[in-house]
Amino acid sequence: MDLVYTLPINQTTLTKSTIIDIIVYHRITLTKQKGKESEMRETLSIIAGILFVIGFVPYVIAILRKETKPEKATWIIWATLDSLTLAGMYYEETVNGQIVGAVLGVWIVVFFAMKYGTPGWTLLDKACLMGAVIGIALWQIFSDPLFGIMTSLVVVSLGSIPTFVSAWEDPSKENKLAWVIFWVSSVLAVITIPHWTLEDAAQPITFCVVESIMMYILFSRNQKTISKTSVKI
């Protein structure tokens, strides 16, 4: 039931009591508005997390159908980096639905990768693992989880470059539906950023940039364009 507040405002004069009543009324109104905005952000954040988990479903299905073989080391590292980001955000009290969904989804892929994936460590895998170690070390040295968050996000961004290159050369290797779902989740996560600080905004913005680049590549690179490029080469 909505709170109804009647102001005893005199049309000709404003007493001290009336001014106080006006201030109280506006505070109540602002509090109600902020409460509704907060509820909306929380709802959209949860939806973003659910969507991010759903985005992994096409990839898991492809693994089970043996249409793709994930690299064990790569996915373990991605899971470690995302978990490091989640841990840092937890200590900063800035956890959102998307990072929770990302960690849950990536560890599900790790589970299937351990059973159906291929072994081996690439140079990029080792560099990313070193990045995770550096992030943890900086966190401990400076007693600031923000170092862990930022380091892991930078490493994730750099680690995405080979995927961008691969998708540019052959977009058919990637599942468009999965990336569309990831992108929608990222947009929702950005919309629900409560405070524009590094702790709150760095992760959603980083994820959104990565997903947006992939969206551009997948939907701008058609087969005709690829064929022309191949002929020129």
Measured in degrees and rounded to the nearest 5, phi and psi for residue 74 equal -60, -45
Helix ranges, 10-144 (H): 16-55, 57-64, 72-91, 97-116, 123-142
Q: How confident is the model at residue 22 (pLDDT cuts 50, 70, 90)?
A: low
How high is the mean pLDDT of the chain? 83
Structure confidence at residue 122 (pLDDT): 82
4 pLDDT higher than 50: no
Structure confidence at residue 69 (pLDDT): 81
Q: Is 162 helix (H, G, I), strand (E, B) or coil?
A: helix
Structure confidence at residue 27 (pLDDT): 64
- What would the two tokens of residue 224 be? 């005709």
pTM for the predicted model, two decimal places: 0.77
In single-letter form, the type of residue at position 94 comes to T
Q: Percentage of the chain with pLDDT > 90?
A: 44
- What would the two tokens of residue 192 be? 């629900």
- Average pLDDT rounded to a whole number, residues 189-205: 94
Structure confidence at residue 233 (pLDDT): 45
For the segment 25-34, what is each residue's pLDDT rounded down to a tens digit?
A: 566 665 555 5
| Domain spans, the chain | 50-223
For the segment 32-53, what is each residue's pLDDT rounded down to a tens digit?
A: 555 667 788 889 999 999 999 9
Q: Judge contact between 118 and 206, C-beta under 8 A.
A: no
Of 92, 119, 78, the C-alpha closest to 194 is: 92
Q: DSSP assignment, residue 94?
A: -
What are the CA-CA distances from residue 73 to residues 63, 77, 207, 227 (Å)?
16, 6, 21, 33
Q: Judge contact between 204 and 190, C-beta under 8 A.
A: yes
- Average pLDDT rounded to a whole number, residues 80-85: 92
Of 122, 117, 106, 111, the C-alpha closest to 55 is: 106
Q: Judge contact between 59 and 200, C-beta under 8 A.
A: no
Structure confidence at residue 72 (pLDDT): 85
Structure confidence at residue 45 (pLDDT): 92
Q: Is 3 helix (H, G, I), strand (E, B) or coil?
A: coil
Q: Is 118 helix (H, G, I), strand (E, B) or coil?
A: strand
- Average pLDDT rounded to a whole number, residues 107-131: 87
